[in-house]
Amino acid sequence: MANEIIVGLDIGTTKIACFVGMRVESGKVKILGFGRTESVGVEHGVVKSITATADSITKAVNEAADQAGVDIDEVWVGIAGQHIKARPSQGSIMIPPEHTLIEQEDVDRLIAEQYNTMLEPGEEIIHIFPQQYIVDREPLSRDIPPVGVAGKNLQADFHMVTANVQNLQYIKYAVERAGLKIKGVVLEPVASAKAVLDDSDRDAGVAMVDIGGGTTDIAIFHDGIIRHTSVLPLAGNAITNDIREGCNILKKQAESLKVKFGSCLVQAVSENDVISIPGIRSQAPREIYVKTLAGIINARTKMIMEQVNYEINLSGFGKKLIAGIVLTGGGAQLKNIKDLCELITTTDTRIGVPNEHLDFESVSYADLAHPMYATGIGLVLYGLEQSEREHAGEQFEEESKAKDDHVDIFAGMDDIPSATQPAAAAEPEPKKKDKKKVKFEDVVGNFINKMFNEGLDD
């Protein structure tokens, strides 16, 4: 839809950022407004204080709305946290006799049935990514869509992503307390990938690693398809806390040291360089060797990269990443982090910035071309793609998506409670399959007619 405005809301552990954007004639995205504020009430990507988070959201959204000169009432929201899980899934359906070829409604029905998969109590499906389709036990290549293929049995392998229902509700409550509606919820590494990767990256094979404040998010692509997702509970805040404890300084001082003087490689800094930290009240200034600082950062960052390497190998695509590893997020600004990643993973690495899809000719937002804004800008890109599919007349149903689509996971959830903290989430009722009623005599009649007609053809 021409000139449609999309709003992305990145609710992170260290910051809350809001982006207002639209597609321009060049095909790129113009950022109309941007707002950022400190994140209060979020830990490791999970909303803990509904009221505090809602206040932070309001500040960021109001700032973005003022810049853009628009009213904001609905947003695309990113989700992360250790509660995010991924699992493989398989499905199979029979094609009805009246379909001589597989139709889109057959594919949609197969995907929709995956939402009836038995999950652990308190889990909700947020994404289902098809991996490969199989028709009559014959796998299809990725260049051949199942629609239009002749067959009587359609199967598929899926990559399913789930989230904790209570954590989803807390996001909903915080956003609604800020006076907004949620258009869709997107896994943060999926959104970030929209901003820093292109089709050639996804086709060749790439691991996108988004190092935020509370979590490190991983998304692995190959042959144009998302193959593996993971969320690690270690990220930038863990490094800051290590510096604070190791150097016995304030958290704000530790964060400043990390950004201004930190290095992920000890051998890359001088032996004798010293940083002077002002003392508290009457205390004397504290001196910290840059090499000591680098040693602290190296230890924690190395731990994070080792876990990233483990996840990449666990996915089975470790040897297939022709496009290598792309680091993004606020943690990607650490000095020498690219070199440390290459040392540990033995894989080519680059820093991903969300500038490739942005239009800088009509407005100057060069400061937004920073790894820390990949998720927020990616949410705008994601929302635009979904809206354009919908308005192009393609199948766009909330509970049946073919690729990189969102689900209305808040359907049926209670309205926001009046208390500061919501009550514990009730266990969702099991979903019922929408089965088409077919009379027995109709089935027998169709079978007899089919056999009679085949006999006439012979």
Rounded to a whole number of angstroms, the distance between the first and last alpha carbons of the chain is 53
- Expressed as residue numbers, the domain containing 129 is 85-163
Residues 6+ positions from 375 with CB-CB distance below 8 Å: 8, 10, 12, 17, 78, 188, 191, 192, 195, 210, 212, 329
Verify that 368 and 290 share a domain, yes or no: no
The enclosing domain of 130 has a CATH number of 3.30.1490.110
Confidence of residue 397 (pLDDT cuts 50, 70, 90): very low
Verify that 310 and 373 share a domain, yes or no: no
Spatial contact of 193 and 220, defined as CB atoms under 8 Å apart:
no
Which pLDDT value is given to residue 336?
A: 97
**pLDDT at residue 121 tops 50:** yes
Alpha carbon distance 432, 92 (integer Å): 17
CA–centroid distance for 309 within its chain: 19
Which pLDDT value is given to residue 282?
A: 75
Confidence of residue 436 (pLDDT cuts 50, 70, 90): very low
Spatial contact of 28 and 380, defined as CB atoms under 8 Å apart:
no
* Cβ neighbour number for residue 92 with a 10 Å cutoff: 11
93, 157, 87, 99: which is closest to 125 by C-alpha?
Answer: 87
Spatial contact of 212 and 14, defined as CB atoms under 8 Å apart:
yes
Confidence of residue 364 (pLDDT cuts 50, 70, 90): low
Confidence of residue 338 (pLDDT cuts 50, 70, 90): very high
Residues 6+ positions from 270 with CB-CB distance below 8 Å: 290, 291
What mean pLDDT is reported for the chain? 86
Confidence of residue 409 (pLDDT cuts 50, 70, 90): low
Which pLDDT value is given to residue 406?
A: 52
Domain count, the chain: 3
Confidence of residue 348 (pLDDT cuts 50, 70, 90): very high
Which of 324, 353, 382 finishes a domain? 353
Confidence of residue 405 (pLDDT cuts 50, 70, 90): low
Confidence of residue 305 (pLDDT cuts 50, 70, 90): very high
Residues 6+ positions from 30 with CB-CB distance below 8 Å: 21, 22, 23, 24, 358, 359, 362, 363
Alpha carbon distance 182, 314 (integer Å): 34
In degrees and rounded to multiples of 5, residue 136 shows phi and psi of: 50, 45
Spatial contact of 172 and 410, defined as CB atoms under 8 Å apart:
yes
Question: Per-residue pLDDT averaged across 251-273, rounded?
Answer: 92
Verify that 380 and 414 share a domain, yes or no: yes
Verify that 301 and 430 share a domain, yes or no: no
SS3 annotation, the chain: CCCCEEEEEEECCCEEEEEEEEECCCCCEEEEEEEEEECCCEECCEECCHHHHHHHHHHHHHHHHHHHCCCCCEEEEEECCCCCEEEEEEEEEECCCCCCCCCHHHHHHHHHHHHHCCCCCCEEEEEEEEEEEEECCEECCCCCCCCCCCCCEEEEEEEEEEEEHHHHHHHHHHHHHCCCEEEEEEEHHHHHHHHHCCHHHHHHCEEEEEECCCCEEEEEEECCEEEEEEEECCCHHHHHHHHHHHHCCCHHHHHHHHHHHCECCHHHCCCCCEEEECCCCCCCCEEEEHHHHHHHHHHHHHHHHHHHHHHHHHHCCCCCCCCCEEEECHHHHCECHHHHHHHHHCCCEEECCCCCCECCCCCCCHHHCCHHHHHHHHHHHHHHHHHHHHHCCCCCECCECCCCCCCCCCCCCCCCCCCCCCCCCCCCCCCCCCCCCCCHHHHHHHHHHHHHHHHHHC
Verify that 211 and 112 share a domain, yes or no: no
Verify that 266 and 400 share a domain, yes or no: no
Produce one character per residue of 112-146: b if its CB has 16 or more CB atoms within 10 Å, e if not. bbbbebebeebbbbbbbbbbebbbeeeebeeeeeb
Q: Percent of the chain at pLDDT above 70?
A: 83
Which of 353, 375, 395 finishes a domain? 353
Verify that 173 and 254 share a domain, yes or no: no
Which pLDDT value is given to residue 361?
A: 66
Verify that 184 and 35 share a domain, yes or no: yes
Which of 321, 353, 385 finishes a domain? 353
CA–centroid distance for 247 within its chain: 34
Verify that 71 and 131 share a domain, yes or no: no
Alpha carbon distance 455, 452 (integer Å): 5
Q: Which residues pair with 34 in a beta bridge?
A: 19
Verify that 276 and 329 share a domain, yes or no: yes
**pLDDT at residue 437 tops 80:** no
109, 115, 68, 64: which is closest to 89 by C-alpha?
Answer: 115
Confidence of residue 389 (pLDDT cuts 50, 70, 90): confident
Alpha carbon distance 210, 192 (integer Å): 7
**pLDDT at residue 396 tops 80:** no
Residues 6+ positions from 265 with CB-CB distance below 8 Å: 294, 298, 336, 339, 340
**pLDDT at residue 428 tops 50:** no
Q: Higher pLDDT residue, 278 or 54?
A: 54
**pLDDT at residue 435 tops 90:** no
Question: Per-residue pLDDT averaged across 175-190, rounded?
Answer: 95
Confidence of residue 432 (pLDDT cuts 50, 70, 90): very low
Question: Per-residue pLDDT averaged across 3-28, rounded?
Answer: 92
For the full predicted model, state whether its pTM sits above 0.85.
no
Verify that 80 and 116 share a domain, yes or no: no
Question: Per-residue pLDDT averaged across 302-318, rounded?
Answer: 96
Verify that 168 and 215 share a domain, yes or no: no
Alpha carbon distance 237, 213 (integer Å): 5
The enclosing domain of 417 has a CATH number of 3.30.420.40
Q: Higher pLDDT residue, 401 or 214?
A: 214
